[in-house]
Amino acid sequence: MYSKEELFLAISNVIDPEVGFNLVEMGLIYDASCDDEGNVHVTMTLSTKACPMHQLIQQWVKEAVQKMANIKEVEIELVWEPEWNVTMADEHVKKALSR
């Protein structure tokens, strides 16, 4: 129903308030897929296991996807492998963080 790019675009509205970048440009969203019935599966990680906002961030991702038309269910899979590091972020994020 929706492509990975369309789902990523929706999720890019979710911003990490600590660093000020969205989750997609941070490289925290590993994969996203949507079947014909509108069931979405998002595979994502966080910059640290100890992130105090982990539940909230997953909730925001869910809400961002649910705003798309005809979405039935959103399942978030939080994974720690591969472990996130800054090389997974977009170039402009890396540049901004290293300033």
Partner 1 sequence: MAAIIYLFFFSAENISLLDTKVLSLTHLFLLGFVMMTIFGAMAQLVPVVLEVGHFGVELFYAIWPLLSIGTILMVLGFLNYPQLLPYGGTVVLISMMIFVMEIFLTIKKVEKLNLVITSILISNIFLFFGIIFGLVMALTYAGIIETDIYALLRSHVFLVIGGYITITLMGLSVVLLPMFGLSHGFSKKPLEIAMAMMSVAVLIVVSSSFIELKILNYIGYILSILSLIVYFYMVQTIYKTRARKEIDIYVKSLLFSYFSMIAALFLAAAYLIFDFEPLLLSSAWLIFFGFFGFAITGHVYKIIPFLVWFERFSPLVGKEKVPMLTDMLPKKSSSAQFVFSAIGVLVIAIAILLQDDALIKAGASFLLMGALALVRSVFFMINYK
By CB under 8 A, name the binding residues for partner 1.
13-15, 17-20, 47-48, 50-53, 56, 60, 63-64, 67, 83-86, 89, 94, 97-99
Q: Which is nearer to partner 1, 5 or 82 (CB)?
A: 82
CB of 51 to partner 1, least distance (A): 7
Angle CA(52)–CA(64)–CA(32) in degrees, nearest 5?
90
Q: How far apart are CA 99 and CA 20, in angstroms?
A: 14
Minimum CB distance to partner 1, residue 83 (Å): 7
Sheet (strand 39-44) strand order: 29-34, 39-44, 73-78
Question: In angstroms, what is the minimal distance from the CB of 85 to partner 1?
Answer: 4
Of 36 and 91, which has the nearer Cβ to partner 1? 91
Rg (CA), the chain: 13
* Residue number, 35 or 94, with CB nearest to partner 1: 94
- For residue 29, give the 3-state DSSP assignment: strand
